Structure 1
């Protein structure tokens, strides 16, 4: 059984990625979520409606011990499974000006995005190396590339993953494992619902927010054999807002 794991897979971009990977029917989809089981089950049903198989897997990516314990139990229960694709999508925002930012807001964002990447990827990378195949795709952000006022914590976390993507790609490329990052701009999701769309659209050359499905198409390509010579890349998908 070939498996793809998507962290934060119950909603928004994560859900769209699960559905895009399900369309290929190549993979059993592991839908990670932290708290919203109802949404995770909805995503699972849509995955199954596409003719694929899947299951939900609750754990908090920011908790290294929990990640290791949950994934270890899953691997023990599924000895024939081979996780070929890992999509590190889980992330949170705790926006605010840096001068007033509580340590908790700084730490939680770093723990979720950056340490979550470490815990999940590190768990599977040796297995990928033994299998001589793997696809690691990290969802970063335009904020991690150009910086965004009021998001120093989020920008720092995503910029760190950009550096990690480029370094890890060089370490594992000889074993047919690619490591890439996808950097969305403003995408229509729960995370951007509270933003002033009319004002922000003025600074986007494409004159609109992107759709989660558009990000998922790019991830689907990077997860495929067609992208086997692309690694260490950070691909912007933002309507031209950062070039």
Structure 2
């Protein structure tokens, strides 16, 4: 199959996908279509400039060709590979499960600060979901732990074995806002958008996204995603 044929197949598929999510009940040019969809679709936002160039290339292939069996422009292999990659991501973007699915180490409110410090030393953990039996209490971070230590550094004697995590958790700034539960069907572009908007708004920092089947805090954890995870995701 010619590169021009592969290109047009992928382009037409992309256009069909995007038109399903556009508010227009009439035809609009592709450039206007992607301009609208990019406002809420992080995949289109990511590839917006490429899609604009692909629109010009599609017009050259379709409208400027002098014969149905002759394409005035044959896209390079890299161009075809990219547009097929975009089409695949739009049609079936990677989801957080199974990509980030893993056993999450959780702690009970009656565990001690010594337990947490051992976990940091052994596993280099930095985010700690805290529960009271099955009830989720909050997400403890290294910042929260540091805040507790700073508050009590001059108090003697200082014994980490007698400090319960339910008390340390109260030193977590904005402890009700430093996490969010998400459902397992969310895709990686939705997740990137959550972190991006969080950074841009700058009101508070989301330290981690906690994955459950339906995004309910009462459900078992299926995985955890941090900003560091997203920064290192290709």
TM-score range, shorter chain: under 0.3
Determine which structure has more spread, i.e. the larger CA radius of gyration: 2
Select the structure that is richer in strand: 1
Given the two structures, how large is their TM-score scaled by the length of structure 2? 0.20
